[in-house]
Copies of this chain bind each other. A is one copy, B any other.
């Protein structure tokens, strides 16, 4: 039903859109990828330019400019409104925070992760200076923008190790996936060289980091992946990263082939040689995880960090009672909230050390540049097309946003 207020709101929304697009012709001093309300990001994301520059940073804050900001699956979920964390609303005319509840008078900047360079530090800021590279530890800060002001506690510095920095792509993708892998391998089970770890979704960004960090620690990994035509190519790629074994889910699925599933389990048990995995990492849930759990030894921990199957985690109760299984979850956002600045810096130090020593390769990636001379309307069009392509989770490359801003 169209009411007066609906029509009025629609007109206002149109004006707001026109204003945002037309402003891009006048001046593109700061830019961001924003949305007005939750929905499909291929339909509601847009590039917005605002004419104002940043004010000098207030005490204990920094002005930073983003160099590269990834588009992660969880960013899509945030925009869809199905993720339990939300960004703060911004005023669309200057990108400053706002209290407005009117969807025409507020926007949300997308993005949770990103690499930024410190441009200017406010009074009293300790341990950070102009030119430093920083990444966000504050959640949902809105990293898909050219530049912004942040609290000094919201970021952590990327340290140099032996005088070396990681690549921009490595640094931009360093706060979510590698630490998820690193912490899951460290915080739940005491593992020693030679121990087995099993994971599903092994081709995910976290999965690939798990393979590499585990290999560096001389842990063996059994890596379960979706069945696919090019399995051999994927197996070769994961093996080159350090995977000990790679198997498609179907080989463990008794509903596909009961005898073969039993054979697979028997052959894996002999591979484990009496020491089956005590750590399982899950980003899939559903049936593949039920089958994976049957491989675990006594007193194992199953750590879930995703549920790509969109199915629940379903396990035989007997595993908990008689095999002393523990099922836990891991969320890197919570880790940042519950750990000190020193612990965060130490984590970054560990990860940069792995990266600059070639133990953790940058993900396959593609940079989506929003050109300085490209207006908001055409940038929006190009961005939405790209977003549509990566939806479904089989794009295979990490997409990163870069703002090419005239300065």
**A322 within 8 A of partner (CB):** yes
Q: Mark A300-330, 1 if CB is under 8 A from B, else 0.
A: 0000111100001111111111111111111
**A84 within 8 A of partner (CB):** yes
A313-B316 Cα distance, complex, nearest whole Å: 6
**A183 within 8 A of partner (CB):** no
**A334 within 8 A of partner (CB):** yes
Q: Which residues of B contact A326 (CB under 8 A)?
A: 326-328
CB pair B312–A320 under 8 Å, yes or no, is: no
**Copies of this chain:** 2
A329-B318 Cα distance, complex, nearest whole Å: 8
Residue on B with the closest CB to A309? B317
Q: Which residues of B contact A285 (CB under 8 A)?
A: 317
Q: Mark A278-317, 1 if CB is under 8 A from B, else 0.
A: 0000100100001000000000000011110000111111
**A321-B306, A322-B84 as given contacts; A316 in contact with B312, CB under 8 Å:** yes
Residue on B with the closest CB to A338? B324
Q: Which residues of B contact A313 (CB under 8 A)?
A: 314-317, 320
**A8 within 8 A of partner (CB):** no
Q: Which residues of B contact A322 (CB under 8 A)?
A: 84, 329, 331
Choose among A84, A316, A317, A318 the residue with the greatest number of B CB atoms under 10 Å from its CB: A317
Q: Which residues of B contact A306 (CB under 8 A)?
A: 317, 321
Choose among A315, A323, A324, A329 the residue with the greatest number of B CB atoms under 10 Å from its CB: A329
Residue on B with the closest CB to A323? B329
Q: Which residues of A contact B (CB under 8 A)?
A: 84, 282, 285, 290, 304-307, 312-331, 334
Listed A/B pairs (11) with beta-carbon separation below 8 Å: A84-B318, A304-B321, A307-B318, A307-B321, A313-B320, A315-B327, A320-B328, A321-B330, A321-B331, A324-B334, A326-B326
Can you name 6 extra interface pairs (CB under 8 A) apart from A313-B316, A321-B330? Answer: A312-B314, A313-B317, A314-B314, A320-B328, A323-B329, A324-B328
